[in-house]
Structure 1
Amino acid sequence: MPLVEHLRELRGRLTKAVLAIIAGAVLAAVFYAPILELLTQPYYAMQPILEAEGIESELVITGVGGAFQFALKICLVVGLIVASPFWLWQLWAFILPAMHRHEKKWALILAATGAPLFIGGAVLAYVVLPKAMEILIGFVPEGFGSLVTGAEYFDFIIKMLLVFGVAAEIPLVVVMLNRLNIVSAKQLAHARPWIIVSLFVFAALATPTTDPLTMLFLAGPMTALYFISELIAKVTDHRRAKRAANAVSDDEASPLE
C-alpha cells in the first residue's frame, strides 16, 4: 500500500476511535449519577471514621463552572475507558498487516494477559482508596477542617488506579523478558533481594499517598506477582534446556533406523 493510502487509513481509524470515545462520553453523561456515586463511595465510606476522630471533612466543588468541568472530565475519562476495546482494536487493525504470524501470536498473548492484570490492579486500588484517604486526611490538625475539591479527588483516584494497574503488569514484563531469552530464572533468583527492594522503593515513590500502609498494599501484591513470574521463568528455562538437549545438531549423523 502506498504511503498516502496508509495515512488515509490512519486518519479513518483515528476518526472512528474519536467518535467512539465521544459516544462513550455521551453514554457516561446519561449514567452520570450512578458513576459519580461509584466514584465517591470510597470517600463517604471513610468520612464517618474521620468524624469519630473529630475531623470534619467535606467533598466540595469550587468555582462557577467547576461542576460542569468536573462532570465533563469524568464523562471523558469514562468514555475513554468504555470505548477502549473499540479504539484499541482500531490501533491493532492498523498495525496487524505489518506483523508476522509469531508476532501476532505474542501480541494477542500480551493483550489477553495484560488487560486482566491491569484491571485487577485497578480494583485493588479502589479497595485501598478509603484507607489511604483516611490516613492522609487524618493528618489534619485538631481544630482544622478538611475541604476536598472534586477535581483534586478525581485526580487522586485516577493516579491510584493507574499506579496500581501499571504495577500489576510487572510479572508480564518479567515473563516476556525471559521468553525473549534476555534474562534467565537463575539471574532473576540471584537479583531477587535487589528487585524486591526496588519494588518497595517504586511503591513508595509511585503512590500518591505518603503512608506506609498504602505502600504495603501496592508492594505486597507486586512482590507476590514477581515470585509467580520467577516460577514461570524457571519452568520456561527448564523446558528450553530439555528441548536443547534433545535437539539434533546439523553436523550430527542421523541414525540408520
Structure 2
Amino acid sequence: MSHLIELRDRLIRALLSILIVFLCLFYWAKDLYALLAQPLLASLPQGGQMIATDVVGVFLVPMKVALMVAFLIALPYVLYQAWAFIAPGLYAHEKRLALPLVTTSVLLFFVGMAFAYFLVFPAVFGFMAQIAPEGVAWMTDIDKYLSFVLTSFIAFGVTFEVPVVVIVLVKMGIVELETLQGWRPYIIVAAFVIGAIFTPPDVVSQLFLAVPLCLLYELGLLLARFISKPADKDPDKDHFPAAMD
C-alpha cells in the first residue's frame, strides 16, 4: 500500500509540474503554434494560408501545442519522479546502466524531433509546393497539420532510439550481436515499410525516415561491439559460502 501511495504522490507531482509550465506558456500559445507552423508557412505559395474548419479549433490547437511544449520542458522533472520511484528497487549495476540509457534516450528523441523540424519538414513541404497543380489553392487545416507534426515527431523520435534498443538487447543478452547483424536485410525492408506508413505518400519523406533508421541501426551494431554481455551472477547479490562436508 505504501508503494501505491508513493506512486500516486509522484504522479501528482509530475502532472503538477506540467500544469505549472503550461500555465506559464498559456499567454504565448499562439506564438508557439506560429513557430511550429513556420516550416509550412514558409513553403506556401504567394497568398497561401492555413485554415481552421472547426469553430473552437483556433483556441484548442494552440492550447495543444502549449501543452506539448510544457510536457517537453517538464520532462526532466517527470523522469526524475519516475527514477526516484523505481531506483530503490534496482541493483547498483542496474542503476549505472539505466541512468545513462534514459538520458541518452531522451536526448536522441529530441534530436529526432529537431531533425524532423529543421530538415524533413522544409524538404517535404517544399516538394509538395512544387508539385501542386496549377490553379489549386494549397492550404491545410491547423488541426490536421498538428496531427501530422505530432505523428512525425513521434516517428522520428522513436527512430533515433534504435541505437539504444540495439545496445540494450546485446547488453542484456537477449539477442546475440551476430543475430542482429543477420537481420540487416530485414531491417532495411522494415525501414522503408515504416517510412511508407508514418510519412506522407512521397518518396522524399520516406527516404528521410528510412535512411536514418538504417544508419542508426548500423550505429547501434557498431557501438554494441564494445558492449559485453553481463555476468551470469549478479555482483550486488549476497554470495554465501558453500557448506562444509
* 1:58-105 residue CA offsets vs partner (Å, 9 max, x unmatched): 202234322211222122212111111112211221112222222222
Q: What's the CA shift for 1:177?
A: 0.7
Which residue of the other structure, out of 196, 202, 214, is the alignment partner of 1:211? 202
Corresponding residue for 1:9? Answer: 6
Determine which of 204, 227, 230 is the counterpart of 1:236: 227
- Conserved 8 A contact 1:184-1:233: no
Per the TM alignment, residue 200 of structure 1 is displaced from its structure 2 partner at its CA by 1.9
CA deviation profile, 1:19-64 (whole Å, cap 9, x unmatched): 11111111221333442332121012212xx44xxxx632022343
Indicate the residue corresponding to 1:32 in structure 2. Answer: 29
The aligned counterpart of 1:192 is: 184
CA distance in 2, matches of 1:121, 1:225: 11
Give the count of matched residue pairs: 230
* CA gap 1:187/1:6 in 2 versus in 1, 3 angstroms: closer
59, 68, 79: which is aligned to 1:88? Answer: 79
1:255 is matched with none
Q: Tell me how far 1:152 sits from its aligned partner.
A: 1.0
**2:66 maps to which of 75, 86, 110:** 75
| Aligned 1:106-121 pairs, distance under 5 A | 106-121=97-112
- Deviations, residues 111-142 of structure 1 (Å, cap 9, x unaligned): 12111211111111002112223334655443
2:17 paired residue number: 20
Name the SS of the counterpart of 1:57 in structure 2.
coil
When normalised by structure 1's length, the TM-score is: 0.81
Query: Per the alignment, do residues 9 and 236 of structure 1 end up closer, same or farther by CA in structure 2, a change over 3 Å counting?
Result: closer
For 1:63 and 1:163, the matched residues in 2 are separated by 26
Separation in 2, partners of 1:235, 1:65? 54
Q: Among residues 167, 170, 174, which one is paired with 1:178 in the alignment?
A: 170
Amino acid at match of 1:180: M
Structure 2 distance, partners of 1:104, 1:65, is 46
3-state SS of paired residue (2:139): strand
Gaps of 5+ in 1: 244-257
> Structure 1 vs Structure 2: percent identity of aligned residues?
35
Which deviates more, 136-145 or 85-94? 136-145
Distance 1:194 1:71, change over 3 A: closer
Map of 2:52 onto structure 1? 61
Task: Report deviation, 1:235.
Answer: 3.2
Q: Aligned equivalents of 2:131 and 2:48: distance in 1?
A: 12
> Aligned residue for 2:235?
none
* Partner Cα separation in structure 2 for residue 131 and residue 107 of structure 1: 36
Looking at structure 1, the residues matched to 90 and 131 of structure 2 have their Cα atoms a distance apart, in angstroms, of 53
Whether the aligned pair in 2 keeps the contact of 1:60 and 1:147 (CA below 8 Å) is yes
Larger Rg computed on CA atoms: 1
Cα 1:14–1:235 change in 2 (3 A) is closer
User: Would the alpha carbon gap of residues 13 and 235 (structure 1) be closer, same or farther in structure 2, given more than 3 Å must change?
Assistant: closer
Q: Are positions 1:44 and 2:68 aligned together? A: no
- Decide whether the 8 Å contact of 1:25 with 1:75 is kept in 2: yes
Q: Report the AA paired with residue 168 of structure 1.
A: F
What is residue 124 of structure 2 aligned with on the other side? 132
Which moves more between the two structures, 166-175 or 91-100? 91-100
Secondary structure of 1:145's counterpart equals coil
Q: Which 5+ residue runs of structure 2 have no aligned equivalent?
A: 232-245
Give the CA RMSD over aligned residues: 2.2
Residues in 2 aligned to 1:179 and 1:192: alpha-carbon distance in whole angstroms = 19
CA contact (8 A) 1:114 1:169 kept: yes
- The residue aligned with 2:240 is none
| Alignment equivalent of 1:166, drawn from 158, 169, 176 | 158
TM-score after normalising by structure 2: 0.85
Q: Which residue of 2 aligns with 1:250?
A: none
Aligned mates of 2:194, 2:61 — CA distance in 1: 30
Match among 140, 145, 153 for residue 153 of structure 1: 145
Q: Which moved more, 1:156-165 or 1:21-30?
A: 21-30
CA distance in 1, matches of 2:181, 2:139: 48
Aligned counterpart, 2:242: none
- 2:11 is matched by which residue type in structure 1? L
